[in-house]
Structure 1
Amino acid sequence: MIVWEVDMKAGNSRILLSKVLQAGALAIALIAFPLASVPVRAGLHVLVARNDIGGRIDRRAELLDHLRARGDRVEIRGHYCLSACTMYLGAEDVCIEPDNVYGFHCPSFWGLALNDASFDYWSRVVASYYPDGLRQWYMQVARHRVNGHYRVSGRELIGLGSQQCSD
């Protein structure tokens, strides 16, 4: 199994990937790559998102489509998963930790308001990656949050049906 660990912190435009091969206990050192270069293969990868502040919706959607197509697992760990990171909740095989905080807000262009058509389009793109109940709430409530985030705990999401990660 190969595990890619994604650790994004505020002010860091690159991610840290840890590639661990458990067949034969071979481990490869930590390497920094841009988010768009995360490679995945069917059934061999686990993407661990840790302290992810989000980013571009289109790039996250592309990555998620890739993960879904290959059936890879996503584990959302750490303390927070904000903005576009929350789209991972729609992965085919995803687990979360109860103490994580998830932050939801309106789509924007790096904090700038979108015109009505773009706002509606990008809201629908984001929502399309959420499970049904979360999708409805996002479209009715969270997509209208301009400043800050609506914060939802992993514990609340687990109560609504999300899978809890095992240690």
Structure 2
Amino acid sequence: MAPGKLISAVVLCIRVSLQIQGGNLSRDFSSVLDLRRGVRLPSALRVQPETRSFILDRPASLQIKMFYEEHLHLDDEIRYILDGSGYFDVRDKEDKWIRIFMEKGDMITLPAGIYHRFTVDEKNYAKAMRLFVGEPVWTAYNRPADHFEARGQYMKFLAQTA
């Protein structure tokens, strides 16, 4: 992916409906949970090519490939970076990629229906926690997945923010 032009976090959040929290949240993780009522059931995930995943019980290199495949979820994806760093790529309303650098202490909420992917950076290591609202749902739907109601609602939201 070729880098695009730089935009501010505020413009990014408006363009694609993201919520981003940054900086040293790891010192007081309870403050992260206070930001989102009803968030529960955290699940930690370590992504490192030379190790095996304890979550999905498959080589992390396959997991990295799975995360890098463009997909969407039917519920919000809330990720908190516990250690390491990487990139979330999201699509804007013109279907162009926007790359978001995430590092230890950052949290992001990707809205249901947004196409996205994740990859580690040159350090090849990230440990992230996924938080859920309600029951945990891990299902990812690879593109194309435009027939889902969550995608339609997200596209409607983007159209209204023009």
- Report the TM-score, using the length of structure 2 for normalisation: 0.30
The structure carrying a bigger strand percent of its residues is 2
The structure carrying a bigger helix percent of its residues is 1
- Report the TM-score, using the length of structure 1 for normalisation: 0.30
Q: Higher relative contact order at CA 8 Å, sep ≥6: structure 1 or structure 2? A: 2
